[in-house]
A and B are shown apart, each in its own frame.
Chain A
Amino acid sequence: MATLGTTARRMPLAVPAGGPRLGRDWRLGYALTLPVVLVIVGLIAFPLGYSVWLSLQDIKLGGQGTFVGAGNYSKILLDSTSRIHDQFWNSVYVTAVYVGGALCGKFILGMTTALILHAQIKARNLWRALLFLPWSIPAIVSSYSWKWIYNDVNGIFNNLLMGYGLIERPILFLADPTLAVWSVLLAVIWQGTPFWTMTFLAGLQAIPHELYEAAEIDGASTAKSFWHITLPNLTSVILVTVMLSAIFTTNSIQYIYILTNGGPGGATETFPLLAISQGLRAYDLGIAAAIPLLFFPMFALFIYVLTKRMLRTES
């Protein structure tokens, strides 16, 4: 009950304390929230629980499941003779590189873009529209554009490079095992940067102008005021953006699915793609349910911290 009390205090709802006219009406309250609750229970909570139940079974699509307890988990995590064990640990590594790389790239480009857009520039609205362009294009559309750009036959990158005589044979941007993940990353960073720019811009605008003026009077350099004023004031924005983006980047599979479909040889197979291939191609639903659940504790931690912050910033 203590948590309920503090949360209520942090969220000043427009209910006057003890107000007679607005306020208590629990029957209507439940009636109006019922649809939302039904969606959450029926389409989110129940499937989550069902997913746990599936992960404890040896079950193929259309077949009868047998309860195996933690069998799927130990097979994935520990059984070094099974193929899924190697595939899973490969996906852990790929997911880490993919998400880590995406976050770094988006942070650098997003911060640069936000700082420039925040400065006094001419025709700001035009620049802003251009720099936010990747966001307004559906991810599925731009993932195909990138696939075409990277294509080894008639792709524009290879055409230009060969046209200028820089390379002799086409570079296999998406089929080369070491290159593929970086090619995918470049496209993913392209698509995801505007979200970071947006949150950084909002954060920059909230920093009082006087701080910079004071620093200028004190003779601080640009680099210094960026380091001592801008970054510290953006800490919470950065934290929230990193966590949100980590969740979104991991879960949005279009780019990898279209560009490489996890290949070549698992070089870009993040765990959602592994789950898809286990569930929908191997029809091994128990394993497919267990894989994302193994990553769930990390998500849960992010979500817990985010929720706390979101509810706090409400006040």
Chain B
Amino acid sequence: MKLRFSTCFLLVCFMLFATSCTQNSKPVVREYQTLFRIGDQQEWAAKNWQDQDWEKRMAFVPDGQVFWSRTKIDILKAPEAFRPYGLKLEAYGEYEVFWDGVLIGKNGNPGQEASLPPEGELWITFNIPTHLAAEGEHLLALRISNYYFPDHVGRYELQIDDYEDLLTDRLIETSYMNIFAGAFLIASIYYLFLFLSDKKEYPMLIFSISCFLFFVLTMTQFVRTAIPIHYSLHVLRLEIISSLTFGISFLIALYFSMQFPFPKRKLFMGIYTVVLLYFFIINHHFFDFTIYNMAVSLWVFSLGIVLFGVYKKAKGALLVSFILLLCIILRYSVSFRISLFAGFSLILLSMLYLLSLRIKEERLAYESSLVQSTRLRLELLKKNIQPHFLMNTLTSLIDWVEEAPKKGVLFIEALAKEFDLFNQIEDQTLIPIAQEIALCRTHLEIMEYRKEINYSWEEEGIDTEQKIPPALLHTLLENGITHSLPLEDNSIKFKLLFEANHHHKCYTFLTFAAGVRRATSKEDGTGLKYIKARLTESYGSKWDFTSEPADHGWKNTIKIYA
């Protein structure tokens, strides 16, 4: 678990390192205001065209009309020999690219979008010929049409740098992100399998789905390097990204609410869902805004849940709250996009950490339950060799053998039978009720020889199909014998009643005797402990045990809930 944690952690650090490396240190160009004009004249590509009357903004160009944009650019430093500059563009529309009046590239078919199928890519890099890249003033002109998003006109980003760097940098970034995404894919599959092997472990399933969604999110974000995307499909990609963010945000908070339970959980999660939906719906097409708001709500609600966990001294809550606080620092130290990915991955790591804590707890609980079972088994075995039973029985036996050998033999036979029964049940956790009753009857027989009291046994409503933990009634019987004085006719009666309904099964064990006292000594304390431990072993917390005085003597009830 430690290893997996640190591996993932290294990956995150690596990603942060890698993405920060791709940011270039010093720009080689200065970009001026871009100007627009509807219409189509080849002269508009020229470097010295008088464009003072062009518009600075263009809101809407319907029907895929052709329009032009002109951007003045100063190259501050000429490229080194044989290292041409490249021009990377992200723009809505299909266009032709002119550099100082020379056509240097084409992305789709401007003006013919309605009649031709979509062509070109949203992100594309062009080569600027070396002889046009001298230090000084230059002009970038685009002949564009935007058929699919006429209201998203003229918004584009450009970047000019070493041509090869522009191409390789994003490949390097993508390769890192693929490794990163792969780690989460593997975590997702691994925990899905773990969940499938134990279908009660919902946190594992939620973690698995969260990891998978995060994997898809990462892949969607960085898909553009691998697959060319036409600008008309870009909104679909953003829709996918914001939906994934919605899903992850919901699941992470749900996960924390399961790991750190708190009162009125359903109400709280309901409010959270409403908040998330609200942010998802309003200004839906301002995708960055939507994603940012959802991430912030996730952060606020998760922190609330985790701080409650810290207050309740839940294991791991302190570390998780620390990681959540770390996310603030992250937000203000790197770009939004990176902080989103790094934040999500840190939170997913903290979820993994919580899972590992729970798995460890379960392992420890399982180990201690094994120890407990062994201890109970030993306790059961000890019943027949503990001195009070064994030595008193043997002393009485000597006396019977000396005084009435024939009765002595019967006594030995009863003793043998009890030992035999104990041998049969010694390694069981549940035995048929009939066997338990046989054990009690044999014990009474032995005690009759020892105490010379007339013990009787009655039972009512016994369902022989039922099973109970071994020596449960036997222990109650022992306590009953030890603590009771006989009635006037020198008799003590024990009665076992069984009732069952769809809700629970109930054994009532009654002692009819004079002067029954509450168990005080250590020995009886262990007897009751034994009963409780056996019930817990077989029924978890779904049982009740009471032991109290009654008019006729003593009354024990064992309730086992369905």
A and B: interacting chains: no
Write the residues of chain A forming the contact surface with B, with a CB cutoff of 8 angstroms: none
Write the residues of chain B forming the contact surface with A, with a CB cutoff of 8 angstroms: none
